[in-house]
Structure 1
Amino acid sequence: MPFGCLTLGDRKDYNNPSEVTDKYDLGQIVKTEEFCEIFRAKDRNTLKMYTCKKFLKKDGRKVRKAAKNEITILKMVKHHNILQLVDTFETKKEYFLFVEIATGREVFDWILDQGYYSERDTSNVVRQVLEAVAYLHSLKVVHRNLKLENLVYFNRLKHSKIVISDFQLAKMENGLIKDPCGTPEYLAPEVVGRQRYGRPVDCWAIGVIIYILLSGNPPFYNDAEEEEYDNRDKSLFLKILSGDYEFDSPYWDDISDSAKNLVASLLEVDQDQRLTAQEAIGHEWISGNAASDKNIKDGVCAQIEKNFAKAKWKKAVRVTTLMKRLRAPEQGESGASSPTPGAAAGPLTSNSGPAPPTSAPGTASSSTEQASAKEQVPDTDTGVIQAPTVTAARDEEEAGERRNGQTPAQTLGDKTA
């Protein structure tokens, strides 16, 4: 073909780096995450402060993909309980995202500072989160990393709204998702079990959040020493897979049946039976008057300080890097079941009350079934990092595994969204 017949593609119109610095004054790095650096930035004209995330293209395809994914999703999203994307720039070497900044406190800190704290306060927080998540789900966006440290008061005014931050793991639900990611204690059973999953994982995480806000305790935990990473997460994942949590005394003695019913409906092991965000908004504990106004601050704060003071949950994120061959449990094999969504809020459902340590709420407790569950979760390996990490796109992962002569089910390597 003669050279003159060739046509060149359109040249990409990149921003000049000076366009970024002409409009914004970038401060010092606040923190470094896996794929980006985070700055405080001031608009030179309005003097408003924003959060700036800078992604370096030279850091690889995963970084570029993570930046594009976050930009695409944040451009779609406009909700008063979600931190909004303000500006984006793409230079030849970088991506810049400018996002609203929340100047209020994390929910943990807010609770500890209150003189009075009740179910009704928790219900108000959760209602705002549910409204934002229902909105995301209407756009087929899955957040995938809902947790307490990503829920922040927008400012320090008395009646400040709650906002959801950190969309680094968010993903469009174009077909069900396969790549596991997130914070271990908030992972839904279908993620731990390596099943395909979607929007219900966010609803499970909200169930975990409510449980913590009402008791100060995590619903799923184990007693392994802090250094025993393998055993700790293996035990944690076993409990998540079977829905093994309790409304244990004395922490839940003063909590209403309606609150327990909502938690049980969100911590439903079967994702098809789990309450949706929109359904949860209609629950009487959220939209009605079922939330108690009794002061529960002392008990909740004591447990929060006991469980979270060492910052293993609050400030650091433990990310499972080698969930070796985690396999989805066969339906009916583990015998696990949970209360049916929409069950009456009065009498507690089968997993609404304390249960013996060896028995999962809402599940059969035979030794045969427990052995079956143990066989489903192999050894794990974890590390500690200082920021949420993103998992590798499964298609990239599977391609690499095939090149190495492995089937996709044989390994699970480093992750990115």
Structure 2
Amino acid sequence: MPFGCVTLGDKKDYNQPSEVTDRYDLGQVIKTEEFCEIFRAKEKTTGKLYTCKKFLKRDGRKVRKAAKNEIIILKMVKHPNILQLVDVYITRKEYFIFLELATGREVFDWILDQGYYSEKDTSNVIRQVLEAVAYLHSLKIVHRNLKLENLVYYNRLKNSKIVISDFHLAKLENGLIKEPCGTPEYLAPEVVGRQRYGRPVDCWAIGVIMYILLSGNPPFYEEADEDDYENHDKNLFRKILAGDYEFDPPYWDDISQAAKELVTRLMEVEQDQRITAEEAISHEWISGNAASDKNIKDGVCAQIEKNFARAKWKKAVRVTTLMKRLRAPEQTETAPATTAATAATTAAAATTAVATTTAATTATAAIAATAATDTAAPAAPGTPPATAQPPAPATPPAATCNGDGAATAAADAAATTEAPSEQTG
């Protein structure tokens, strides 16, 4: 199917809105994300269903940049474990991106519905993710937002494949990247520490996903009140910087040593020593017979239901505020004093609008100090800490990123809602 418009930013090549409606019937909004609305679309001539993402240009430069970026990246990729781009239309007011429609369930839902679930099932999921990520990395593409919510079964058939979605944060690695970007619980230490980073951040995120799928718990958590965003995120980041996780009993008692070894290599604090996606595919737990076939469903499901039952809740408020804190030191270093003061005032007003606290300045200083001290002396590679770790409280899976370093508007992010029916790109 030809793309409706192939030249980004060329006013002479704008599509007319009627070109979209002549070809597709757009249904009701099924999901609202930070930058776009998502529809189920039906092609009129064939009756085939697709996903349509609509970005409004009037919503600002961040939205326009996200739409252009997703189009550019998706036009580059073709892999069985990545939702494929179908069509693009660019009008004077909107970007329309049409993608394959995945009708299967999210991985969490699939696990909960199984009568039997073992390491081999997890190995099959991780293998498919690694193969897709190795392909992306061969093109020097960094996804930057790998998480369980972006993994879905393509359809509801028994042997359905896993597909990766959501590429608006993906980036070509033309030199190392600096701006903080991603979902808090999946952020690699180099992102939290405001170091330059690249493709290894995706491997760290796969390690976090694997840890959760094998135990039902996230590797990093903070016991502070979930509504105390300032302290929660500051302490969470400190643990990520130090690689402060462990394979705590009883959740890991029945998990193979090979699985633990791969998690440790994926979640290596030093990005230069972290295993690559291609190397991980050859690991015995992925390509050999090291994955156990023992049923671990009861333990994993109990923890999933405890930690992630509210997985579609309180989504973007805390992520927006923490990204502001991550970026604040960088903005202070580069912006004139008057500009920084204005930005701080604006950020404080936006934060107040979504009922967050006014302790951002203190938290920024604390996180900057944490990054400076903890990254200077990271935990030894592959050495988990000795302290016990109880089950984690649920934490919101959300993401935000803006390539120019400005913080995402908290009020916009707070309005984000999510429906569980279909997964989109």
Q: TM-score range by the shorter chain?
A: 0.7 to 0.9
Task: State whether residues 134 and 277 of structure 1, in contact with CA within 8 Å, keep that contact through their aligned partners in structure 2.
Answer: yes
Question: Shift of the alpha carbon at 1:11?
Answer: 5.8
- Pick from 316, 326, 336 the counterpart of residue 379 of structure 2: 336
State the secondary structure of the residue aligned to 2:28.
strand
The reply on whether 1:251 has 2:230 as its aligned counterpart is no
The CA distance in 2 between the partners of 1:307 and 1:11, in whole Å, is 49
State the secondary structure of the residue aligned to 2:12.
coil
Question: Shift of the alpha carbon at 1:45?
Answer: 1.1
User: 2:262 — aligned with what?
Assistant: 262
State the secondary structure of the residue aligned to 2:233.
helix
- The one-letter code matched in structure 1 to 2:315 is A
User: 1:202 — aligned with what?
Assistant: 202
Higher relative contact order (CA 8 A, sep 6+): 2
Question: Shift of the alpha carbon at 1:330?
Answer: 6.4
- Pick from 379, 392, 397 the counterpart of residue 402 of structure 2: 392
Go from structure 1 to structure 2 and tell me whether the alpha carbon gap of 1:10 and 1:95 turns closer, same or farther (over 3 Å shift): closer
User: 1:4 — aligned with what?
Assistant: none
Spell out the pairing of 1:217-232 with structure 2 (5 A cutoff): 217-232=217-232
State the secondary structure of the residue aligned to 2:38.
strand
Question: Shift of the alpha carbon at 1:151?
Answer: 0.4
Task: State whether residues 242 and 374 of structure 2, in contact with CA within 8 Å, keep that contact through their aligned partners in structure 1.
Answer: no
- Pick from 299, 321, 324 the counterpart of residue 322 of structure 1: 324
Task: State whether residues 131 and 278 of structure 2, in contact with CA within 8 Å, keep that contact through their aligned partners in structure 1.
Answer: yes
Go from structure 1 to structure 2 and tell me whether the alpha carbon gap of 1:331 and 1:300 turns closer, same or farther (over 3 Å shift): closer
- The one-letter code matched in structure 1 to 2:324 is L
Go from structure 1 to structure 2 and tell me whether the alpha carbon gap of 1:268 and 1:91 turns closer, same or farther (over 3 Å shift): same
The reply on whether 1:70 has 2:70 as its aligned counterpart is yes
- The one-letter code matched in structure 2 to 1:322 is K
Task: State whether residues 33 and 388 of structure 1, in contact with CA within 8 Å, keep that contact through their aligned partners in structure 2.
Answer: no
The CA distance in 1 between the partners of 2:59 and 2:14, in whole Å, is 18
Structure 1 residues without counterparts, runs of 5 or longer: 1-8, 340-349, 359-383, 398-411
Task: State whether residues 321 and 414 of structure 1, in contact with CA within 8 Å, keep that contact through their aligned partners in structure 2.
Answer: no
Percent identity between matched residues is 74
The CA distance in 2 between the partners of 1:270 and 1:10, in whole Å, is 43
State the secondary structure of the residue aligned to 1:67.
helix
Question: Shift of the alpha carbon at 1:13?
Answer: 1.7
Question: Shift of the alpha carbon at 1:33?
Answer: 1.7
Task: State whether residues 242 and 375 of structure 2, in contact with CA within 8 Å, keep that contact through their aligned partners in structure 1.
Answer: no
Go from structure 1 to structure 2 and tell me whether the alpha carbon gap of 1:338 and 1:200 turns closer, same or farther (over 3 Å shift): same
* Count of matched residue positions in the alignment of Structure 1 and Structure 2: 354
State the secondary structure of the residue aligned to 2:272.
coil
Question: Shift of the alpha carbon at 1:183?
Answer: 0.8
Question: Shift of the alpha carbon at 1:70?
Answer: 0.4
Task: State whether residues 33 and 389 of structure 1, in contact with CA within 8 Å, keep that contact through their aligned partners in structure 2.
Answer: no
Question: Shift of the alpha carbon at 1:312?
Answer: 5.9
User: 2:25 — aligned with what?
Assistant: 25
Spell out the pairing of 1:180-191 with structure 2 (5 A cutoff): 180-191=180-191
State the secondary structure of the residue aligned to 2:305.
helix
- Structure 1 vs Structure 2 CA RMSD: 2.3
The CA distance in 2 between the partners of 1:305 and 1:331, in whole Å, is 33
Question: Shift of the alpha carbon at 1:332?
Answer: 7.1
The CA distance in 2 between the partners of 1:333 and 1:194, in whole Å, is 12
The reply on whether 1:309 has 2:319 as its aligned counterpart is no
The CA distance in 1 between the partners of 2:104 and 2:315, in whole Å, is 20
State the secondary structure of the residue aligned to 1:233.
helix
Spell out the pairing of 1:5-154 with structure 2 (5 A cutoff): 12-154=12-154
Q: TM-score under structure 1 normalisation?
A: 0.81
- The one-letter code matched in structure 1 to 2:77 is V
Task: State whether residues 168 and 390 of structure 1, in contact with CA within 8 Å, keep that contact through their aligned partners in structure 2.
Answer: no
Task: State whether residues 26 and 40 of structure 2, in contact with CA within 8 Å, keep that contact through their aligned partners in structure 1.
Answer: yes
State the secondary structure of the residue aligned to 2:31.
strand
Go from structure 1 to structure 2 and tell me whether the alpha carbon gap of 1:311 and 1:413 turns closer, same or farther (over 3 Å shift): closer
State the secondary structure of the residue aligned to 1:26.
strand
**Greater fraction helix:** 2
The CA distance in 2 between the partners of 1:321 and 1:143, in whole Å, is 18
Question: Shift of the alpha carbon at 1:182?
Answer: 1.0
Spell out the pairing of 1:363-382 with structure 2 (5 A cutoff): none
Spell out the pairing of 1:349-368 with structure 2 (5 A cutoff): 350-351=383-384, 355-357=386-388
User: 1:374 — aligned with what?
Assistant: none
State the secondary structure of the residue aligned to 1:12.
helix
Question: Shift of the alpha carbon at 1:413?
Answer: 6.7
- The one-letter code matched in structure 2 to 1:316 is K
State the secondary structure of the residue aligned to 1:334.
coil
The CA distance in 1 between the partners of 2:14 and 2:140, in whole Å, is 30
Task: State whether residues 208 and 218 of structure 2, in contact with CA within 8 Å, keep that contact through their aligned partners in structure 1.
Answer: yes
Rg larger for: 1
Task: State whether residues 118 and 296 of structure 1, in contact with CA within 8 Å, keep that contact through their aligned partners in structure 2.
Answer: yes
Question: Shift of the alpha carbon at 1:306?
Answer: 0.7
Go from structure 1 to structure 2 and tell me whether the alpha carbon gap of 1:316 and 1:10 turns closer, same or farther (over 3 Å shift): closer
- The one-letter code matched in structure 2 to 1:246 is E
State the secondary structure of the residue aligned to 2:68.
helix
